Structure formats: C-alpha cells, structure tokens
Amino acid sequence: MAPILTTLLLPFSWLYAAVLAARNWLYDRGWKASTAFTEVPVLSVGNLRVGGTGKTPHVAWLVAWLRARGQQPALLSRGYGRRTRGYRLATAADSAATVGDEPWQQFGQFGGAVPVAVSEDRVAGIRQLLAEVPSLTAVVLDDAYQHRRVRPAVNILLSEQQRPFYADEVLPAGRLRESRAGAARADAVIITKCAPDLSAAARATITRQVRRYSRASVPVLFSSYDYGPPVPVPGTAAGRMAAPMGGSEVMLLTGIAQPGPLLAHLAAAGYCVTHHARFADHHVFTPAEIAALAAQCQPGQCVLTTQKDAARLQEPALAASVADLPVFYIPITVRFLADGEARLAALLGSYFPLPAVG
C-alpha cells in the first residue's frame, strides 16, 4: 500500500484497533465469557495478519507431532469458504464446498485418520467433537487466535518473516486483524517462511522486535518450508504421465494469499513457468477458468499448483474440466531452524509427555 494512502487510512485503523482492544479487555477481565476445556488440551494456531502466514502446514506439523507422540488429535476450524453452515464432521463424502478447502486438504492429508470438523462456534464445535469422538486426546484449532470465546491451553502465533506483525498496521491501513499488542496472548511465536540459512544475528534481531509485544518468557522460533516433488492430483491426467523435472516448462495455478515463496522455489529448482493463473485466496475455480487454462497448455506440458488448490480442483463440478488436464501439486512440510523444534516440543511436552518405558 502506498505510504500516502496508509497515512490517510490510519485514523480508521486506530478506531478499529480501539474497538478490538475494548473487546479483548472485556475477555481479559472475565466480563465476556471464555471457555477453557479440561477434558483435553486445546491448541490454537493463528496469526494477527490476514492470510498467508503458513497456518495449514504448521497445523499439519503439529498434528503429525501429536500422532508421533501416541496422541489422537482432532482438527477444528471455521471452514472458511464452505457452502454449508453449522457443525460438520468431515467424511469421505465431503468436499471443499462442504467443509472448506483447508479442512478438506487436511482430511485428505491424514487419510481420514484424524477427525476434521468445522464450526463457526468453536465452543460448540469442541463439545460436539468430544461427544462424537471420545478417544480424542487433543483438539487443534486452526485460525482461532482472535476467537476469544475459547481459552486454549497453548496459543501459537505465526508471523511471516517478510511481513512481520511488528512492522504492520491494523486494517484498513495495514493487514493486521488486531493491534500488535495481541502478541501478548501467545505462548509461542513462530516466524514463518524464513530462508533456511537465516543467520543467528538476523534471528536475534527479529526476536528483539517480537519481544516488544510478546511476553518475555515466550519462545520465538523460526521455520522454513521444504518442498517435495510434484504429486499427481487425483482425477486429472497427471496420473498418466511422469512428474515434471527441473528444467521443464510448466504452468502454475494458484488461489492462495502468498504465491511468492512457491514461485521462488520453482525458479530455484529450474522450472520455467510460462504462465501463472493467479487467483485470490480460497478462490472457487470454475469450469470456464479451467478451460481457459487448458487452452494454453501445450502438448507435454503440465500444470503445477498447491495442495490447498488441489483440494478445490477435486470438486465434482470440475471433474469433467480437469479430467484431461495434467495437474500436479507441490507438497510443503515445515522445518524448524536451529533448536526451534526442540523448544516447541518442550513447551508441548508438558501437556503430552512421552509414555513411560518399562
């Protein structure tokens, strides 16, 4: 956003921030109800900024860590972009349209072994999950940092290195959902999408900036992405051809907030992106858009996309459009820098200790 426009919008940001600060003050004082669950630990992953901080892969890391610890976690989110309302526990009969693209991606990523539910009311959603799945030992809330009606056992705040919360403004002058002071609620802060070789000096500088707003004892951790080889998207022609290698000409289809890191990875891996069909985050693809993409796809060329976009491409309404289009998604996993994984595991370990041996 242009500096002049930012300056002009600041008074509106201050007004919005004041309203949110009053709301948070009421929760902090107990004048607005906030529910803590004693049955199982509730872990929240979220951010202060609108979109693009890497919530989904970090939630996946957390779920995988819990499962490796012998736990049975469940995922609960609002289900942004779905065409349904109320509580819904995902099954194989669902789709991105019924539960939202990110929950549907998560359901598929864990092969249905992890319960994934959506509910606008997180309190009611957690209660329903506990009633339906009594074997649960943890509930992970996706994108619930501002959902103060639930008081989580652990509150994890994500902030992108290139767009840190401490250098941003509240909407509409910036992209923050609430003021920077909201970082004080975090039990851990993870700076995401870092360069794998981010220096210790740079990490220390960022940590000092974060500590202006977080609690002094809160760990500040750093993570980067590891990109896997292309994976065929089910229902497309990708299953009938070899995955593209570095040096290939490819097309790119994205409907995410920040495609920049993926573009940088593809360039570093030697791919030549001849066309990028870029749409807004959570965009619902139409048959006409897929047809337009297919018209530009040259013989032997394929389309690369993200795992979240792949979830939306598997909508029944798009089945005929994508059937002859070779589409591969690029999987992403989170990797912590330095001792970040050990420090986060130490924080979580107080709630999920290793089982006794012998």
- Encoded tokens for 330: 């690029």
Contacts of 72 (CB under 8 A, 6+ apart): 133, 135, 136, 137, 138
Q: Report the mean per-residue pLDDT for the chain.
A: 94
Q: Between 7 and 315, whose confidence is greater?
A: 315
Tokens matching residue 155: 């509150």
- State the pLDDT at residue 357: 54
Tell me the average pLDDT across 52-78.
95
**Percentage of the chain modeled with pLDDT above 90:** 88
Find out whether 170 and 21 touch, Cβ atoms under 8 Å. no
Q: Find out whether 140 and 45 touch, Cβ atoms under 8 Å.
A: yes
Predicted confidence at residue 7, as pLDDT, reads 81
Residue 350 pLDDT level (bands cut at 50, 70, 90): very high
DSSP string of 268-301? HTT-EEEEEEE--TT----HHHHHHHHHHPPTT-
Q: Of 272, 268, 273, 271, which is closest to residue 197 (Cα–Cα)?
A: 268
pLDDT of residue 356: 58
Inter-residue contact 330 to 262 (CB < 8 Å) = yes
CA distance linking residue 2 with residue 164, whole number of Å: 18
Give the mean pLDDT of 60-66: 97
Q: What is the pLDDT of residues 139-158, one digit of tens each?
A: 999 999 999 999 999 999 99
CB hemisphere CA count around 128 (13 angstroms): 18
Residue of 146, 327, 130, 122 whose CA lies nearest to 244: 327
Report, as an integer, the average pLDDT of 194-198: 95
> What is the DSSP pairing of strand 88-89 with strand 138-142?
unpaired
pLDDT band at 5 (very low <50, low <70, confident <90, very high): confident
Going by their DSSP bridges, the two strands 231-232 and 327-330 should be labelled as antiparallel
Look up residue 154 and give its two tokens. Answer: 């652990």
pLDDT of residue 353: 85
In Å, how far from its chain's centre is CA 157? 11
Q: How big is the chain, counted in residues? A: 358
Tell me whether the omega of the peptide bond preceding residue 172 falls within 30 degrees of 0, making it cis: yes
> Residues 118, 82: contact at Cβ < 8 Å?
yes
Q: Report pLDDT for 52.
A: 79
Of the candidates 130, 143, 137, 178, the residue with the CA atom closest to the CA atom of residue 28 = 178
* pLDDT score for 174: 93
Task: Provide the whole-model pTM.
Answer: 0.93
Report phi then psi at 323, rounded to 5.
-55, -35
Distance from C-alpha of 358 to C-alpha of 354, rounded to nearest angstrom? 12
The pLDDT value given to residue 4: 82
Judge whether 218 and 185 are in contact, CB under 8 Å: no
- Per-residue pLDDT band at 238 (split at 50, 70, 90): very high
Question: Fold for domain 10-71+137-225+335-349?
Answer: Rossmann fold (3.40.50)
Q: What pLDDT does 2 receive?
A: 62
Strands (DSSP E) found in 67-153: 73-77, 88-89, 116-118, 138-142
pLDDT tens-digit profile of 26-55?
999 999 999 999 999 999 999 999 877 899
3-state secondary structure of 39: coil
Condensed to tens digits (0 to 9), the pLDDT of residues 253-297 reads 999 988 999 999 999 999 999 999 999 998 999 999 999 999 999
Residue with more model confidence, 109 or 356: 109
The mean pLDDT of 196-224, rounded to a whole number, is: 97
Burial class (CB in 10 A: 0-12, 13-18, 19+), 204: exposed
So what's the pLDDT on residue 159? 97
